[in-house]
Structure 1
């Protein structure tokens, strides 16, 4: 099945709901787990975090490559540039989306294209 914007959004919504349920369940049952089981759960969680961070880096790279252009009639259009291009307002958009400082967003915006390029 080909991925569409709607299917990706649905997957993200489903994943968010599953992670919320997982957090509740682990909070309730993990108190009796053995140390090795907790370490294994921790390692699995880190693997998920690493994967989601990679997904974020791809999204940041794509977002940063979009320039908004104002036409003479006042219409705003998006111009997509090659991955690696960084629009001037990209750190501001990322800061708002991730709820982080402008400096942290700028670091992610500048670093993400390099990371995505290495991974690709």
Structure 2
């Protein structure tokens, strides 16, 4: 599998970008998981939302991982040290890199716990 970096910035404030995204989303009429995912991304851009698409095997710095998770970098450092968030160190350095898929997995687990806690509170009437 070829590995390459692609960086494209689409400004969702640009009316041409938004209308182009809207037109392309409208042309996707199938119900396959791929079409649904692409349509959702295009709909977000059409509505002015900034969208970032990353490959699962890409790596993030702890600061970027924290931004994705909506937590502090220090909390990400703690997750790494506690073994919750796998990471690798850059050769000859103390700097860490964390796979995007691992960040997504931790985010999903945190959301599942939050949803479960909300359900328990609702059941208990708290």
What TM-score do you get using the length of structure 1 for normalisation? Answer: 0.23
Q: Which has the higher contact order (CA 8 A, sep 6+)?
A: 1
> Going by fraction, where is helix more abundant, 1 or 2?
1
